[in-house]
Amino acid sequence: MPLAIITGGATGIGGAAVRKYASEGYDVALLDVNKEESLKLCQKEHPGSVAFFETDVRSRKRVEASIASAVEAFRPPSVLFANAGIQRLSSLFELRDEDIGASSCWVCQLEMGKRQ
């Protein structure tokens, strides 16, 4: 089965992506900070398996470690669904760089590329 890595996969659009990929037979590495909701998704029955890797995508080291662990547990990934987003509610004009995690997509792509 192919591997999909999904950031921000505990709830919302990310959670829907986890369920969809797993239902299509993908193994899914769910990278998120929301342990409770992530573990609920891991316990559901799917043709593919879902594994949780606690990851704050604002931390490059944490992203690197989680992707390395996912590759070790499964195989090199076929899909990256970089969904992790803003965790602080505020006005667009009050957001700080650390709220957005703008580099997280780039870091995830870099780590994926290393494993192809």
Q: Are 82 and 104 in contact (CB under 8 A)?
A: yes
What are the extents of the domains in the chain? 3-114
Banded model confidence at residue 58, pLDDT cuts 50, 70, 90: confident
pLDDT value of position 100: 56
CA–CA distances in Å: residue 7 to residues 36, 91, 94: 15, 23, 24
Q: Is the CB of residue 78 less than 8 Å from the CB of residue 6?
A: no
String of b and e for 61-76 (b: at least 16 CB within 10 Å)? ebbbebbeebbeebee
Query: Class assignment of domain 3-114?
Result: alpha beta
pLDDT at 14 over 90: yes
Share of the chain above pLDDT 70, in %: 81
3-state SS string over the chain? CCEEEEECCCCHHHHHHHHHHHHCCCEEEEEECCHHHHHHHHHCCCCCCEEEEECCCCCHHHHHHHHHHHHHHCCCCCEEEECCCCCCCCCHHHCCHHHHCCCHHHHHHHHHHHCC
Q: pLDDT digits over 86-115, tens only?
A: 656 666 566 666 665 556 666 777 777 787
